[in-house]
Chain A
Amino acid sequence: MYKKVKIEYFAVLREQAKINSEELETSSADARELLSELTSKYNFSLNESTLKVAINEEYCEFTTKLNEGDRVVFIPPVAGG
C-alpha cells in the first residue's frame, strides 16, 4: 500500500541526495525498506550499520512501520559539541 512520507536529509546524506527534503509516495513498509529505496535512488555512502533513524522526531528501530504523513530522517553519525 502506498503512503506519502516526508523525508529530510542532513549532513553527508543531504550532499548526496542534493536536496534538503522531499515528499515521497512509497510502498516501503518500514524504515529499512525506505532506506534501501532511497539508497538505490541516491547511492548513499552510509548504510544501516552507521545510520540511525528517527520518525516524527523520535529515534526508532529500522523495523518501525511507516504511516501516512510520517516525517522520516536517517541520522548520520552525530557530532555535536
Chain B
Amino acid sequence: MFKISQTKIDPIDLGKRFDDPRAGAVVTFEGKVRNHNEGKNVTSLEYQAYGAMAVKEGQKILDQALNQFDILDAYCVHAEGHLEIGDVAIWIIVTSKHRAEAYKANQFIIDTVKATVPIWKKEHYVDEEPVWVACHQCAESGHHEHSL
C-alpha cells in the first residue's frame, strides 16, 4: 500500500505491522530531512502532494515491485506538510524470503517514487527566501540528492 501522511511518520510503530513468519528478510528505508543542501543551511521542508494521483502512481510502483522481484510485501508512506530537521519524509518497507530481492526492490521503489510521484518540496533556509526544489533531472541522473 502507498500512503500520503499528514501526520508524523513513526517507523518503529509502522514496522510492527509487517511481522511475517515467511519473511527471512526485512529491508526498510527512511528518508529524513537534512539540515543542508547544496551549500545552504536548511531549516525545514514543506512537502505538497497531488494526493489522488500520488497514491495511484505510488501504488503502481509497489505493484511493479511485487511483480518484478521475489518479495512478500511492499509498503511506502510519504509525508505531506511542514517537516522539521530529522523528521521522516518517506518510509519504505519490503519483506522477502531472502535479503537480495528485498534490497533490490526497496532501491527500485525509492528511485521510482522520486522520479514519478507528484510530490513537491519547498526548502526553507536560514537567511534566504524558500524555494521549490526542481528535481526532474536529479531523479533521472541519480545524483544531486536532496533530503535523502
Contact = CB atoms under 8 A, between A and B. Distances in A.
Given A11-B48, A57-B53, A75-B50, A81 B132 contact: no
B53 A76 contact: no
Q: Chain B interface secondary structure, helix, strand, loop or mixed? A: mixed
Contact of A78 (B52, B90, B122, B136): B136
B135 interface: yes
Given A11-B48, A73-B50, A80 B113 contact: yes
A81 B139 CA distance: 10
Q: Give the bracket for the number of chain A residues in contact with chain B.
A: 10 to 19
Contacts of B139: 78
Most buried by A among B113, B122, B134: B134
A12 interface: yes
Interface residues of B, number: 33
Contacts of B93: none
A57 B49 CA distance: 12
A15 B146 CA distance: 22
A50 interface: yes
B119 A79 contact: yes
Nearest to B114: A81
Q: Which 8 A-B pairs have the closest CB atoms?
A: A80-B119, A11-B120, A79-B135, A77-B136, A77-B134, A81-B114, A57-B53, A79-B121
Interface of A: 8, 10-12, 14-15, 50, 54, 57-59, 73, 75-81
